[in-house]
Amino acid sequence: MAAKEHSFDISAKIDMQAFKDAIVQAEREVATRYDFKGLTADIDYSEKAKTLTLVSASDNKLEALEDIVIGKLLKRGLTSNVLDKQGVEDSSGGNRKTVFKVVDYIEAKEAKKIAAEIKNLKLKVTAQIEGDHIRVKGKQLDDLQKVIRAIRGMEWDAPLVFENMR
């Protein structure tokens, strides 16, 4: 009888409720902060476009706004990797604007890198890219846990989630 094969998936999912709660909390904090009194300080999340736009009076205020948002994300257990900064530009009324792409997927190039790193571990596991996730299979649960520890310990652009361990 063949030994049972175990598997898990690596994907990049965001707890959207936690994300939205963090944005609401950030908006509340900005509304009560003295250093933003009388200044433009907009936080706009577009679910459809998967973007977060911050608008404020200056680059300094924009950075403060970004710090508040990231602080609220971290408090909710989300990494700052869920936001990919697209750049800073001028906005209407002499304001400055930053647009972030909300990252909830693993890019193909990064998925290939992750699969290659798993292969480099020289464990008896296989990593297969299946659409928006990577399926890792192996006979030994220990090997799968070593893969999770190794991949977690590396720097990735996507906010990785390890799930469906069977």
Q: What is the pLDDT of residues 52-79, one digit of tens each?
A: 999 999 999 999 999 999 999 999 988 8
Under CATH, which architecture does the 6-13+106-163 domain have?
A: 2-Layer Sandwich (3.30)
What's the Cα-to-Cα distance from 71 to each of 18, 75, 153, rounded to whole Å?
13, 6, 22
The pLDDT assigned to 1 comes to: 42
Confidence of residue 113 (pLDDT cuts 50, 70, 90): very high
Residue 93, pLDDT > 90, answer: no
Mean predicted confidence (pLDDT) in 43-60: 93
Q: How do 161-163 and 6-11 pair as beta strands?
A: antiparallel
Q: Give the domain ranges of the chain.
A: 6-13+106-163, 16-102
> CATH top-level class for 16-102?
alpha beta
Residues forming beta bridges with residue 130, ordered by sequence position = 133
- Direct distance between the N- and C-terminal alpha carbons of the chain, in angstroms, rounded to an integer: 19
pTM of the complete model: 0.77
